[in-house]
């Protein structure tokens, strides 16, 4: 096993047309069992050779990730996915045809080739084909699947830019491929196809109804699990994707909540849909996009910015309770301290 990284190399790549030398350098790190942070179309991922247990174990060490939380395996195409499972149902084929490459992760019964550390000992493995050129070309150059959870310390905000990766993991990983900010902004939809009825484990950019159009009824997102209770999907921990500041979600009267916190002498960030009004010193008001896709692309970067400005509280106005906003409401709720 390579020693723990002490200096993190940063290599800039063109996100649309990454150069061969940079991809080769990153593939060599992967083959040597090192860790490489890479842009994907969702957030930055922290990649290692998925078929090498000691390489994947380093991901857990670098992130401080509990060994009970499995990681997603990124593959080049559907054929590569089928090599890592013991069953590939027709639903999986249909979904892969339509949504891969893209932000859809499928959970299926695993093949014995997948190391235990990847799946946290579960009988299933989570797979997706990333659409980002850098991720796709790294998988091709390394000629192996990549285990890649988000490139952030466990439970913290996912990174959508290289600064975020470095603020959490500098010195703990070998290399970062800097492809600029990631476009999607929130993590993939995770769909469990391993049991009798398909079930969404994590809402994401691909909506439940779009999946149902292809494969019929899907169980809604499994209820999230608090504290130390055992969970059907480890990523369902209720506090996750969280900023340093305490975050509260409000359905209405956000201005009143902000004013109340300011009266208590606290520095407050405010994710608002309205044009920012001058709320006085102590408030950083940010107008968020009114379209869900644009909001998702901005969300983590905005929370990272507010953390960098040392606000103590963040008041987030909840978007409408409609399908297109589902994943964003989920992430805001999980970032919050009030449940």
Task: Give the binding site for Mg ion (CB under 5 A).
Answer: 149-150
Contact call for residue 160 and ligand AMP (CB under 6 A): no
Distance CA 254, CA 247 (A): 12
From ligand AMP, Mg ion, none, interface partner of 72 (C-beta below 5 to 8 A by class)? ligand AMP
Beta carbons of 128 and 105 less than 8 angstroms apart: yes
Which residue, 176, 61, 186, 56, is CA-closest to 121? 56
Choices 169-177, 231-239, 274-282, 303-311; region in contact with ligand AMP by CB under 6 A = 231-239
From ligand AMP, Mg ion, none, interface partner of 302 (C-beta below 5 to 8 A by class)? none
Distance CA 243, CA 117 (A): 27
3-state secondary structure of 175: strand
From Mg ion, ligand AMP, none, interface partner of 122 (C-beta below 5 to 8 A by class)? ligand AMP
Choices 81-89, 119-127, 167-175, 307-315; region in contact with ligand AMP by CB under 6 A = 119-127
Contact call for residue 69 and ligand AMP (CB under 6 A): yes
**In the complex, least distance from residue 173 CB atom to ligand AMP, rounded to whole angstroms:** 15
3-state secondary structure of 270: strand
Distance CA 208, CA 156 (A): 26
Among 122, 136, 166, 218, binds ligand AMP (CB under 6 A): 122
CA 14 to chain centre: 22
Distance CA 9, CA 140 (A): 21
Choices 1-9, 52-60, 64-72, 318-326; region in contact with ligand AMP by CB under 6 A = 64-72
3-state secondary structure of 160: coil
Among 126, 142, 292, 327, binds ligand AMP (CB under 6 A): 126
Contact call for residue 40 and ligand AMP (CB under 6 A): no
Distance CA 150, CA 37 (A): 9
Distance CA 116, CA 125 (A): 10
Among 8, 76, 233, 336, binds ligand AMP (CB under 6 A): 233
> Number of residues in contact with ligand AMP, rule: CB under 6 A?
19
Residues lying near ligand AMP in the complex (CB under 6 A): 69-72, 107, 119, 122, 124-126, 149-150, 187, 190, 201-202, 233-235
């Amino acid at each position: 096993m390579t020693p723990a990284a002490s200096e993190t190399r940063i290599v800039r790549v063109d996100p649309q047309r990454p150069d061969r030398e940079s991809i080769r350098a990153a593939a060599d790190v992967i083959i040597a069992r090192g860790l490489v942070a890479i842009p994907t179309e969702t957030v930055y991922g922290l990649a290692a050779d998925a078929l090498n247990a000691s390489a994947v174990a380093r991901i857990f060490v670098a992130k401080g990730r509990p060994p009970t939380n499995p990681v997603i395996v990124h593959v080049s195409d559907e054929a590569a996915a089928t090599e890592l499972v013991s069953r590939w149902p027709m639903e999986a084929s249909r979904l892969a045809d339509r949504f891969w490459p893209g932000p859809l992760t499928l959970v299926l019964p695993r093949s014995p080739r997948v190391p235990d550390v990847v799946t946290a000992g579960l009988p299933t493995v989570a797979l997706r084909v990333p659409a980002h050129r850098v991720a796709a070309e790294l998988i091709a150059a390394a000629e192996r699947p990549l285990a890649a959870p988000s490139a952030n310390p466990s439970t913290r905000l996912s990174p959508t830019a290289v600064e975020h990766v470095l603020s959490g993991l500098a010195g703990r990983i070998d290399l970062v491929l800097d492809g600029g900010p990631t476009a999607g902004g929130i993590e993939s939809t995770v769909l469990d196809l391993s049991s009798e009825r398909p079930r969404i484990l994590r809402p994401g950019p691909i909506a439940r109804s779009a999946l149902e159009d292809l494969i019929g009824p899907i169980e809604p997102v499994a209820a999230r699990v608090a504290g130390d209770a055992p969970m059907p999907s480890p990523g369902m921990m209720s506090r996750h994707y969280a900023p340093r500041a305490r975050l509260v979600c409000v359905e209405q009267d956000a201005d009143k909540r902000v004013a109340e916190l300011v009266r208590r002498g606290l520095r407050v960030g405010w994710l608002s849909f309205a044009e920012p009004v001058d709320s006085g010193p102590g408030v950083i008001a940010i107008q968020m996009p009114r379209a869900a896709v644009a909001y998702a692309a901005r969300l983590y970067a905005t929370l990272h910015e507010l953390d960098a400005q040392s606000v103590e509280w963040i008041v987030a106005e909840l978007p409408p309770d409609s399908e297109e906003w589902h994943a964003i409401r989920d992430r805001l709720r999980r970032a919050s301290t009030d449940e």
